[in-house]
Amino acid sequence: MNKLIYLDNAATTKTAPEVVEAMLPYFTENYGNPSSVYSFASGNKDVITRQREIIADTLGANGNEIYFTAGGSESDNWALKATAEAYGNKGKHIITTKIEHHAVLHTCEYLEKQGYEVTYLDVDENGIVKLDDLKAAIRPDTILISVMYANNEIGTIQPIQEIGEIAHEKGILFHTDAVQAFCQVPIDVDACHIDMLSASAHKLNGPKGIGFLYIRKGVKIRSFVHGGAQERKRRAGTENVPGIVGFGKAVERAAASLKERTEKEIELRDYLIGRIGAEIPYSRLNGDRVKRLPNNVNFSFRFIEGESLLIKLDMKGICASSGSACTSGSLDPSHVLLAIGLPHEIAHGSLRMTLSEETTKEDLDFVVDSLKEIVQHLRNMSPLYEDFIKKQSKRQEEK
Amino acid sequence: MYTEKVMDHFEHPRNVGEIENASGVGTVGNAKCGDIMRIYLDIDENQIIRDVKFKTFGCGAAVATSSMATELVKGKNINEAMQITNKAVMEALDGLPPVKVHCSLLAEEAIHAALWDYAEKHDIKIEGLTKPKSDIHEGEEEEEEEY
């Protein structure tokens, strides 16, 4: 059996051992409910407050602007639905993009059914929102702009500061889904005029099932879960203390290593992009070459289909993901790859590899060597490749 | 998610390739949906399928169903080959996940398309065979983009 090479860190990451260690006492020893009066339990209230501060510090925010949730999807749902509800009397128009995560897109579709109007902005061939399009889409009844910080599939980082400035100038709330970007790129909510921001712990070596929504002080946003007084009465339910502690530890760890870690990842990412581009013909890098998450590589290989590629890679111990229809459970390939203008057949042949701090150059060499072999094997089986080669040799003869 | 048989046929597909001057060639599916199958048949004067080859662009199930379909028709006469349904292909593979059943339909269609081509070339009629519906060249645009 080959060594496991895990290149799907945009899907989820390994919980860091020190994170698990920090969490453990909150299961078996300090298990008290933070809302209880006795000192055995109420100490946990301070523990939670401390984690809020750790997280807020990385964003230039205040601890009381961090609201814990069950993860990124809940945060996105909350931001959109509660804003729509709270500001519905001001207007019913929301602006977002075609490349958002489904947690945003499907929530927008739900809001459309509730009588809201949503503009889905196009992106350019690298997946970047065009600011002129955004400006043109703004109407007097626009209440919210929601643009992801960085894309989960192609890694493209949006001009968040410019978008925030436009929103701020027009007095429109600005939400960003930063699930992929948080602790991968430095974020300053004030400089970028971000009013709400979603993030999740398990993307940065924290545990699953815990996330937060940053809500700027002054933004009136309704309760998402009704019940107890937790999370400043906005999200009821006994706090997930171990999860929150794990999240705090993961953020502390990721924030401390941010510069060094991402510099190393960028070097490896560019090495991988360079080798694939040079050694595998008819391949195409998806997403912006520079404005890109440090750990994201996304290629399309013409004439082959993504699921086949993933199974072949799996046989070699390599974990990755694809935007092909077969892996999405629908007949259409990834909406992100279609939005950047890829034809269906090329979108079907996409491969996303997302690195971690543990990825080594040797791993990537093995991956590229395996990929070369697998891509050629699948192309030899592909009628599209056969037609392409025949067409080419015919052209050669004509010359 | 796949049975051992499916994985075996995906990992070691039988009869991959082309047949030069084939008696019949059929291509079905379209790139838009992510599955294209092409089947080549070599049929002798007694209407026996002497050899069969395939090429497939598609997922694991698409490759495995093509491979199994070629195994099932090899050595059969054209009327027997007509009897091989997508169900037979699925059963031979010990089943497919529900979302992949269309792959086995495509395999059946590919065989039929190749037989149709053979019948047209030889000006014969095969009992129960109708003109294949899907064709990859339908609405195809010439793609000139260079990579």
Confidence of residue A82 (pLDDT cuts 50, 70, 90): very high
In degrees, to the nearest 5, what angle opens at C-alpha A159 toward C-alphas A157 and A165? 150
**Interface contact flag, B57 A380, Cβ < 8 Å:** no
What is the domain extent for residue B33?
A: 4-122
Q: Residue B104: inside a domain, yes or no?
A: yes
Q: pLDDT over 90 for what percent of chain A? A: 92
> CATH no. for residue B25?
3.90.1010.10
Determine the average pLDDT of the residues in A144-169: 98
Interface residue B147 vs chain A (CB under 8 A): yes
Total number of domains constituting chain B:
1
More confident residue, A351 or B142: A351
State the best of A301, A313, A348 to mutate against chain B, taking most chain B CBs within 10 Å: A348
Interval A203-249: pLDDT, tens: 999 999 999 999 999 998 888 899 999 999 999 999 999 999 999 99
Determine the average pLDDT of the residues in A189-195: 98
Interval A35-54: pLDDT, tens: 999 999 989 999 999 999 99
**Domains of chain A, each with CATH number or no CATH:** 5-11+258-390 (3.90.1150.10), 17-254 (3.40.640.10)
Give the whole-angstrom CA distance, residue B62 versus residue A105: 30
Beta-ladder partners of A7: none
Give the whole-angstrom CA distance, residue B9 versus residue B59: 12
Q: Residue B107: inside a domain, yes or no?
A: yes
Quick one: CA dihedral B69, B72, B75, B76, positive or negative? negative
Q: Residue B140: inside a domain, yes or no?
A: no
Q: What is the pLDDT of residue A331?
A: 64
- The answer to whether residue A192 is catalytic is no
Q: How far are the Cα atoms of A89, A309, B65, B68 from residue B57, in angstroms, in the given order?
A: 52, 11, 12, 15
Catalytic residue among B22, B52, B72, B103: B103
Amino acid at A62: N
State the best of B12, B15, B37, B57 to mutate against chain A, taking most chain A CBs within 10 Å: B57
Cβ proximity of A238 and A228 under 8 Å: yes
Nearest CA in chain A to B7: A311
Q: Residue B52: inside a domain, yes or no?
A: yes
Nearest CA in chain B to A384: B57
Interface residue B12 vs chain A (CB under 8 A): no
Q: Residue B131: inside a domain, yes or no?
A: no
Q: Residue B141: inside a domain, yes or no?
A: no
**Interface contact flag, B34 A348, Cβ < 8 Å:** yes
Cα dihedral A289, A294, A300, A304, rounded to 10, equals: 160
Would you call A116 helix, strand, or coil by DSSP?
coil
Q: How far are the Cα atoms of A282, A289, A299 from residue A320, in angstroms, in the given order?
A: 20, 20, 12
Q: What is the pLDDT of residue A108?
A: 98
Determine the average pLDDT of the residues in A120-145: 98
pLDDT per residue, tens digit, chain B (147 aa), is: 899 999 999 999 999 999 999 999 999 998 777 899 999 999 999 999 999 999 999 999 999 999 999 999 999 999 999 999 999 999 999 999 988 888 899 999 999 999 999 999 999 988 888 888 755 444 444 444 444
Structure token digits, residue A265: 């990842």
Strands A318-319 and A5-6: parallel
Q: Residue B134: inside a domain, yes or no?
A: no
Q: Residue B15: inside a domain, yes or no?
A: yes
| Interface confidence (ipTM) of the complex | 0.89
Confidence of residue A327 (pLDDT cuts 50, 70, 90): low
Q: How far are the Cα atoms of A63, A184, A254, A256 from residue A54, in angstroms, in the given order?
A: 8, 16, 11, 11
Would you call B33 helix, strand, or coil by DSSP?
coil
